[in-house]
Amino acid sequence: MMMGTKLVTLLFILILTLISVPFSAAFHVGVNYGTVANNLPPPHQVANFLKTKTNINHVKIFDANPEILAAFSGTTGISLTVTVPNSDIPSLSKLPKARSWLSNSILPFLPETSIRYIAVGNEVIATSNKTLIGHLLPAMESLASALHLANVTGISVSTPHSLGILSGSSEPPSSGKFREGYDKAIFAPMLNFHNRTKSPFMVNPYPYFGFGPETLNYALFNSIDVVVVDPVTKLNYTNMFDAQVDAVYSAMKRLGYGDVDIVVAETGWPSAGETNQTGVGLEYAAAYNGNLVKHVNSGKGTPLMPNRVFETYIFSLFNENLKPSVSEQNYGLFKPDFTPVYDVGIMKTDQVRLY
């Protein structure tokens, strides 16, 4: 009798350990909570849904909407990335403005709302707007100083970039470099900032924008065979996501900053598009995002960055009905009523199903 009870208890503990360890220890996937829609649920419902029904522990928003910041108050375990709108960048390059923005927009919500990053603008280099680009790093510096002066620790400052920051000849991955004219002038000082302030470099890789008829499976993480061999490093690539992230890493390393952390601030795949679009649909979106979640949480990193983990934010939490095109309206993991468009292994119930 005793032996039997002990054995059952031991087995029970073993099973519990097997179930809980891989998840609690290794969930690095977040979502972008975009709100270009007129049918989304109120922020407090969204916060409650994410907390109680999903394993999502990072949420990125495209503004500093006070209603959203308040809604995530007390949601232990979920941390936010808030975004400064591009149009505010020039004024925030002045320290007094950065300090008042911080006092008005962020400090009232601390510490009940957990804020991890302030993203200064979104894909600013891609705007080609010289005023914005010229004020970007000064605004990042001012906000970092403002945080320091307010004695805030635990929030770091960054800015997400599109892959357009790389020069056209960034294939194979080891040849990745920043666009000429931007490398020394923009990225060297920016990476110096990241290295000094221990903040990550944020990039938005989208294999969806990079695939062709021959490379759809490679883009979806569905190739079993090696698809690209980097002739310089002899490393094998089986998916385009790794190749894109490694190209960014090569560009950073070329400037001496290979140790700066990388955060994947956006990536995703639409579940619907125009009728004439190929590679767009539910099964493709489910494949890309599902494989992405597994890949990121495996902790195996990329060929050039083995075993490095990149916090990765899927675009997007919801389908957004006011975006301009059908495909842009259909990046969401969820419909506005919280029903999943498809499941990618982020629901709490998935833990049970996987074992």
Ligand X SMILES: *[C@@H]1O[C@H](CO)[C@@H](O)[C@H](O)[C@H]1NC(C)=O
| Rounded least distance, CB 242 to ligand X, Å | 13
Q: Counting Cβ atoms within 10 Å, is residue 254 exposed (0-12), middle (13-18) or buried (19+)?
A: middle
Q: How far apart are the first and last CA of the chain?
A: 29
| Nearer residue to ligand X within complex by CB, 48 or 233 | 233
| Nearer residue to ligand X within complex by CB, 148 or 348 | 148
Among 44-52, 110-118, 231-239, 242-250, the segment contacting ligand X (CB under 6 A): 231-239
| Nearer residue to ligand X within complex by CB, 130 or 353 | 130
Q: Could you give the count of Cα atoms lying within 13 Å of 34 in the half-sphere of its Cβ? A: 25
Active site residues: 123, 266
CA-CA distance, 40 to 319, in Å (whole number)?
9
Tokens 């635990």 appear where?
154
Stated as kind and residue range, the H or E segment containing 118 is: strand 115-120
Among 21-29, 37-45, 63-71, 228-236, the segment contacting ligand X (CB under 6 A): 228-236
Among 45-53, 62-70, 178-186, 234-242, the segment contacting ligand X (CB under 6 A): 234-242
| Rounded least distance, CB 124 to ligand X, Å | 10
Using an 8 Å Cβ cutoff, are 271 and 342 in contact? yes
Residue of the chain from 48, 100, 129, 167 that contacts ligand X (CB under 6 A) = 129
Residue 103 interacts with ligand X (CB under 6 A)?
no
82 Rama class: left (phi>0) / alpha (psi -120 to 50) / beta? beta
Residue 147 interacts with ligand X (CB under 6 A)?
no
Query: Alpha carbon of 64 to those of 107, 159, 239: distances in Å?
Result: 12, 14, 34
For residue 350, give both structure tokens: 């998935």
Residue of the chain from 168, 214, 234, 307 that contacts ligand X (CB under 6 A) = 234
Among 5-13, 26-34, 85-93, 210-218, the segment contacting ligand X (CB under 6 A): 85-93
Using an 8 Å Cβ cutoff, are 150 and 110 in contact? no
For the segment 23-62, give every residue that binds ligand X (CB under 6 A): none
Residue 69 backbone dihedrals phi, psi, to 5 degrees:
-60, -40
Residue of the chain from 36, 110, 150, 227 that contacts ligand X (CB under 6 A) = 150
Residue 276 interacts with ligand X (CB under 6 A)?
yes
Residue 87 interacts with ligand X (CB under 6 A)?
yes
Using an 8 Å Cβ cutoff, are 120 and 84 in contact? yes
Closest to 162 in 3D by CA, of 205, 207, 128: 205
Residue 325 interacts with ligand X (CB under 6 A)?
no
Residue 236 interacts with ligand X (CB under 6 A)?
yes
| Rounded least distance, CB 9 to ligand X, Å | 44
Using an 8 Å Cβ cutoff, are 157 and 140 in contact? yes
| Rounded least distance, CB 187 to ligand X, Å | 12
| Nearer residue to ligand X within complex by CB, 7 or 226 | 226
Amino acid at site 3 = M
Residue 132 interacts with ligand X (CB under 6 A)?
yes
| Nearer residue to ligand X within complex by CB, 150 or 347 | 150
CA-CA distance, 43 to 315, in Å (whole number)?
17
Residue 215 interacts with ligand X (CB under 6 A)?
no
Q: Counting Cβ atoms within 10 Å, is residue 131 exposed (0-12), middle (13-18) or buried (19+)?
A: exposed
Among 41-49, 68-76, 125-133, 292-300, the segment contacting ligand X (CB under 6 A): 125-133
| Rounded least distance, CB 107 to ligand X, Å | 9
| Rounded least distance, CB 128 to ligand X, Å | 8
Q: Counting Cβ atoms within 10 Å, is residue 163 exposed (0-12), middle (13-18) or buried (19+)?
A: buried
| Rounded least distance, CB 243 to ligand X, Å | 14
Q: Counting Cβ atoms within 10 Å, is residue 249 exposed (0-12), middle (13-18) or buried (19+)?
A: buried
Residues that bind ligand X (CB under 6 A): 86-87, 90, 129, 131-132, 150-151, 192, 195, 226, 234-236, 256-257, 274, 276
